[in-house]
Amino acid sequence: MVNLYQYNTKTMKYLSYWDRIIPILSIIVYASGIFDFNIFGQFLVVALLIGSILSAVHHSELIAHKVGEPFGTIILAVSITIIEVALIISLMLAGGEKAMFLARDTVFSAVMILLTIVIGICIVIGGFRHFEQKFDQKSVNTTLVSLVAILVLTLVLPNFSEGGNYISFSKPQLILVSLSCLVIYIAFIYIQTIRHRNYFLTEKKSEEYTKENSSLILNIIFLIISLIITVLLAKTISPTIENYIIEANLPHSLLGIIIALVILLPEGIAATKAAYKDDIQSSLNLSLGSALAAIGLTIPSVAVVSTIFKIDIVLGLNNISMVLLGLTIFTVMLSLSKGRTNILYGVILIILFVTYVFTIIYP
């Protein structure tokens, strides 16, 4: 009986390191290429993908607990954005007939996912559990002003630009817009972390990770590892998903939304958990901040690559997408204008996401 108890104790101790074991195991499986052999390998990849996402969420929460807000949410948002940018650039350099649309479609998908389904689910879950949730309206206004300016400059203005071909910029215009994105994002980070940091602070204190003894550096390392392997595994299963999409006669652009959903899952889960714990401020910091990082860092990076390697890129949205983007921004601004949440706002945002996906399938 004593030996069995000791065995169980050791087993539980090893299982407590799941957040480190799973990313490492995922790397081994990815390097082995087992997913190419049979359907079991595909199921294994999906299981490890989910485990890696949960590991990323776990380490991001540990980091947020140790460094405090808003630095925790910034680290997660920037980490995912950097890896997303690396994936976009690698696919652009690989070429293909749709490479020129890749940056626009990925950025637009990420923004729509974060502003509609992520914020919508957070508001609904938080509303059902806590009735009304309060947040600092100044933090939301600061982020939305920055986000709206960048969105219009990058995704709408190209359609009215005579310097390019009405859907893309000329080189001087692209340089100007890229610099504008960087300046706006840097100014926002300065406001968020130094000048008006109090706008983004939360009053909620989590006791969930007080017994965690791992170092901050270790958490950051495993967060990055988890995010990298998440992107690689998502890229691995994308051909299988693509085959299902083709067999179902669905638009190819639907694949981009599915991959974006997978990549943004760590942020979505972290934001939802915060709302469930009555910390809607952290949810909004993460969702809106991630949307701003997704476009504010991606467009300048893509601009540099397209200029160096002479790759044409298209940034202007089509008419349906522009209408949906405008409606989404307007709805988010109205929903978050009073500093209190309401379940109705969340339901409407979720419906906008469903509409967005529907218009891709049935344009």
| CA 114 – CA 219 distance, rounded (Å) | 24
**What whole-number distance in Å separates Cα of residue 351 and Cα of residue 121?**
11
Q: Give me the tens of pLDDT residue by residue for the chain, a chain 363 residues long.
A: 445 444 444 444 444 678 888 889 888 888 887 666 567 777 888 888 888 888 887 887 788 778 777 777 788 778 777 777 777 777 777 666 567 787 888 889 999 999 999 999 999 999 999 989 999 999 999 999 999 999 999 999 988 877 655 567 888 888 999 999 999 999 999 999 888 888 888 766 555 545 555 688 888 888 888 888 887 887 777 777 777 777 888 887 787 788 788 778 888 888 999 999 999 999 999 999 999 988 898 899 888 888 888 888 888 898 999 999 999 999 999 999 999 999 999 999 999 999 999 998 888
Which of these, 80, 102, 168, 75, lies nearest to 302 by C-alpha position? 102
> What gap in Å lies between CA 270 and CA 60, rounded to an integer?
8
pTM confidence score: 0.83
CB 178 within 8 A of CB 209: no
Q: How far apart are CA 27 and CA 37, in angstroms?
A: 17
Domains of the chain by range and CATH? Answer: 2-361 (1.20.1420.30)
Residue bearing tokens 């109705």: 344
By CB atoms closer than 10 A (0-12, 13-18, 19+), residue 22 is: buried
CA-to-CA dists, residue 303 to 15, 151, 211, 311, angstroms: 44, 15, 45, 9
Q: Are 88 and 106 in contact (CB under 8 A)?
A: yes
- Pairwise CA distance, residues 230 & 53, whole Å: 6
